[in-house]
Structure 1
Amino acid sequence: MHANDPGATWPHLPPDEQIDIAVDSLRMLADPTRLRMLWLLCGQEYDVTSLARAVGIARPAVSQHLTKLRLTGLVTTRRDGRRAVYRAKGGHVRRMLAEALEAAHHHLAGLPDHD
């Protein structure tokens, strides 16, 4: 079931396991540092050092955040020689993040809701 499908039936609840995973994903977005990191990872791959520099926090903290994002299925990792590089996992992650930030923009700008 996809929420954007014209045939989606909103009155029917998704399975509990799907709800639990969605809650975990949204919980990951509730942290400003992870949100910033995920935004950058939607655009390109980063290793821990580059991402730490980009968001302005220590490498160990970036590693901890990346572990959480990876365990909840929001980022993927691959090896490039001796270093691991990270990227957002799929278009669904980019769309979820874009929708959250668009909603924030509408709220800040006092724009009307639209469907």
Structure 2
Amino acid sequence: MTPRANLEPAAELFKVLSSASRLHLLCLLRDHPTTVGGLAEAAGLSQPLVSQHLRTLRAAGLVAVVRHGREAEYSLADAHVAHIVADAVTHTLEEHVPLS
């Protein structure tokens, strides 16, 4: 059995992923690195809101940033992030039959 203390970081991860807007941004970053402006346009969100979400995602270690002069380009931190989001979406789209 997994000790409860080992589950706390996973619980914190799920808190970060509890926002549909953050999930959408992660899906957009799955395909290619993008700037805040590009993400805002693609997601239909304001740049300040996208920046706020990106700060949360960076703090959780889900996205990385590379600076090119004044521009910041965001990308997924690793492939696990894309798999977590894709698996969660797939799971919610499946029809579930009760086990009993």
TM-score calculated relative to the size of structure 1: 0.77
| Aligned counterpart in structure 1 of residue 65 of structure 2, from 77, 84, 94 | 77
Deviation at 1:28, TM superposition (A): 1.6
- The code of the aligned residue for 1:81 comes to G
> What are the superposed Cα offsets for residues 57-109 of structure 1, whole Å, 9 maximum, x if unpaired?
11000000000000001111111221111111111111111110110121xxx
How many percent of aligned residue pairs carry the same amino acid? 34
Q: How many residues align?
A: 98
RMSD: 1.8
Deviation at 1:35, TM superposition (A): 0.7
Partner of residue 44, structure 1 = 32
Q: Partner of 1:67: helix, strand, or coil?
A: helix
TM-score calculated relative to the size of structure 2: 0.88
Q: Is there any run of 5+ residues in structure 1 with no aligned partner, and where?
A: 1-11
Structure 1 residue 13 and structure 2 residue 23: aligned? Answer: no
Distance 2:13 2:30 in 1: 15
- The code of the aligned residue for 2:56 comes to K
Q: Is there any run of 5+ residues in structure 2 with no aligned partner, and where?
A: none
Over 6 Å off, 4+ runs: none
Structure 1 residue 61 and structure 2 residue 52: aligned? Answer: no
Distance 1:82 1:14 in 2: 45
- The code of the aligned residue for 2:90 comes to E
| Aligned counterpart in structure 2 of residue 34 of structure 1, from 13, 22, 46 | 22
Distance 1:42 1:25 in 2: 18
Distance 1:15 1:60 in 2: 36
